[in-house]
Amino acid sequence: MIGAESPSSDVESATLIGRNVSFRLAGQILSALINVGGMVLLGNFLGSSGYGNYAFYYALIPLIASMSDLGVGAIITREIARNRADGPRLLGDAICIKAAVSGALLLVGGTLAWTIFDPLRATLLTVVLAAALMDFSQDISVWVFRAHERQDLESLLLLVSQIGWVAGIAACAALGASLVSFLATATAAFAVRLGVGAWILSRRMYRPRFAPEWARIRRLVLQGIPFGLAMLGIVLYGRIGVLMLQTLASASQVALFNVAYMLSQPLGFISTAVSMSTYPVFSRDVLRGPAAVRPTLLQAIKYQIVVALPLTAGLFFASDRLVPLLFHREGFAGAALAIRVMSTGLVFIFMNLMSRYLLTAMDRQRLYLRAVLGGLVVNAAFGMLLIPSYGFLGACAGQLAGELTIFIVCQAALSKYIGAMDLVRTAWRPLAAAVFMGLVVFSVRQSALFLIGAAGVLAYAAMLLALRAISADEIQILRCVYVSFGLPGSARLKRAAERS
């Protein structure tokens, strides 16, 4: 399944991927819950207008971070995955590049902020800039852990950062702190995580070897810039709704859109879990040709679709119940409609997240950049056209149109590995199960939210099994992943597998 040489190594490789997906999912689920908790704290303390201002400045963090390594992070991960013996030298190169770029951005950005803006805005922008340079995507330790397929360590760092952030948010709310203090909690939490990651890397793996060569550094940067520009475009079109609403509408409209964004888009962490866990595998297998890539790619696509469709149905039908549960102040009622609209694009979001790393593993990050630029143009055009009249709904429409554009371009690029009929054969059973789930959820929509969720999950799982959407080999791999953690019942499952 992973392009290995024997069935046993196939299972071992798939089990390792499954373990990494499990670690990353666990970390990201906890992170998402912390994000929701922080959003609720901020929304209830600051109100829709104050939260809108916070969301505007916080949206600048990933925007700035996306290019603060010149896109080299993904290239470093790919190259270490292909040749781990070069890890210490590549780590040294990464530190040199990151230090030079971050230092220049901090100097230039800080100087411009204090020259152009009033002290309050300059302080806010300086805090945001410092946080962006230490964003999770910019942590060099994380790049190395990914290359070595140590999602457990990456997830640990994520939780260190998130726990520090939400603790700071809670402290600021208790003390009635200013907007600057709320934003500064992210900067402090990121700094702590950066230090912890460097310590773990030096103790558990290796230390950097500094032997910079201009030709090698130049090659890394030239390969990284297209990916970095693509990430800048991704963040921009993900946040352009916030930026355009801030300009063309109001802070309250920003809040409604951001609630929908925070409750739908971050679900992409489920997609990213498998995308990042398979990224080192794809980086190696792509050197062996399409035949080595196709089996793993088909399994990855199936995972994306199987997971995205029930989330779409759940968010679509439960949004009316979810928003009042999370927000008790006035001004958030329209968020339910925004969530329903945004949820319809989850399948495209999941597939695009996978394409981001798949195309980079194939050394085709320039093509992904073109896809993102197309999506950005479409998103901005829809926003300019619709936001003045429809507010947050116009921003939602632009977001979906951008995702669809990226999906079309990326799938066209991957047609040599998978065709349209492959997608249809992979999707029809999960789609039928999701439709059945939606009918069940709709029929019990007046019940308690927990019961609605349980009924939906059971209905979807039952229909997947009835339609045989999950093969016997896939069930066997799931068992192997379970056994690998030594959980209760593992010994019995292992004996049963040996007998079969």
> Confidence band (pLDDT; 50, 70, 90) for 494?
low
Q: What is the pLDDT of residue 212?
A: 84
Cβ atoms of 398 and 257 closer than 8 Å: no
Instruction: Map residue 110 onto helix, strand or coil.
Output: helix
Q: Is the pLDDT of residue 1 over 50?
A: no
The number of beta carbons lying within 10 Å of the beta carbon of residue 16 is: 19
Pick the most confident of 40-54, 178-192, 461-475, 479-493. Answer: 178-192
If you average pLDDT over residues 11-24, what whole number do you get? Answer: 82
Q: What is the pLDDT of residue 62?
A: 83
Cβ atoms of 263 and 77 closer than 8 Å: no
For the chain, percent of residues with pLDDT exceeding 90? 36
Q: φ and ψ at 444, to 5 degrees? A: -115, 25
DSSP state of 6: S
Residue whose token pair is 């060099």: 140
Cβ atoms of 192 and 131 closer than 8 Å: no
Q: Determine the Cα–Cα distance for residues 396 and 61; give it in Å rounded to an integer.
A: 21
> Confidence band (pLDDT; 50, 70, 90) for 45?
confident
DSSP state of 286: G
DSSP state of 467: T
Supply the angle between the helices 119-133 and 87-116 in degrees, to the nearest 10: 170
Per-residue model confidence as pLDDT tens digits over 304-316: 899 899 888 888 8
Is the pTM higher than 0.85? The answer reads no
Instruction: Map residue 471 onto helix, strand or coil.
Output: coil
Q: Is the pLDDT of residue 200 over 80?
A: yes
Residue of higher predicted confidence among 199 and 445: 199
Per-residue model confidence as pLDDT tens digits over 324-374: 777 777 777 788 888 889 888 999 999 999 999 999 999 999 999 999 999
Give the distance, in angstroms, between the CA of residue 330 and the centroid of all CA atoms in the same chain: 30
Q: Is the pLDDT of residue 219 over 90?
A: yes
DSSP state of 5: S
Q: Determine the Cα–Cα distance for residues 136 and 214; give it in Å rounded to an integer.
A: 27
Q: What is the mean pLDDT of the chain?
A: 86
Pull the structure tokens for residue 479. 């068992």
Q: What is the pLDDT of residue 8?
A: 43
Q: What is the pLDDT of residue 267?
A: 73
Q: Is the pLDDT of residue 215 over 60?
A: yes
Per-residue model confidence as pLDDT tens digits over 443-465: 887 787 788 888 888 999 999 98
Pull the structure tokens for residue 25. 């999912």
For the chain, percent of residues with pLDDT exceeding 70? 95
> Confidence band (pLDDT; 50, 70, 90) for 266?
low
Q: What is the pLDDT of residue 5?
A: 37
Q: Is the pLDDT of residue 269 over 80?
A: no
Q: Is the pLDDT of residue 2 over 70?
A: no
Pull the structure tokens for residue 410. 């990326």
Pull the structure tokens for residue 291. 């035949």
DSSP for 258-278, please give it. HHHHHHHGGGHHHHHHHHHHH
Q: What is the pLDDT of residue 291?
A: 82
Pull the structure tokens for residue 60. 């600048």
Per-residue model confidence as pLDDT tens digits over 380-407: 999 899 988 888 889 899 999 999 999 9
Q: Determine the Cα–Cα distance for residues 302 and 263; give it in Å rounded to an integer.
A: 23
Torsion angle defined by CA atoms of residues 88, 89, 95 and 97, in that order, rounded to the nearest 10 degrees:
-160
- Give the list of residues 6+ apart from residue 199 with CB closer than 8 angstroms, or none: none
- Give the list of residues 6+ apart from residue 28 with CB closer than 8 angstroms, or none: 155, 158, 269, 270, 272, 273
Q: φ and ψ at 253, to 5 degrees? A: -65, -35
Sign (positive or negative) of CA dihedral 349, 157, 296, 368: positive
> Confidence band (pLDDT; 50, 70, 90) for 4?
very low
Quick one: 143 exposed, middle or buried, by C-beta within 10 A (0-12, 13-18, 19+)?
buried
What size, in residues, is the chain? 500
If you average pLDDT over residues 177-185, what whole number do you get? Answer: 87
Pull the structure tokens for residue 324. 């009042």
Instruction: Map residue 489 onto helix, strand or coil.
Output: coil
Q: What is the pLDDT of residue 493?
A: 64
> Confidence band (pLDDT; 50, 70, 90) for 172?
confident
> Confidence band (pLDDT; 50, 70, 90) for 7?
very low
Q: Determine the Cα–Cα distance for residues 68 and 419; give it in Å rounded to an integer.
A: 36
> Confidence band (pLDDT; 50, 70, 90) for 472?
confident
Lowest mean pLDDT among 7-16, 161-170, 355-364, 436-445: 7-16
Q: What is the 3-state secondary structure (H, E, C) of 219-235?
A: HHHHHHHHHHHHHHHHH
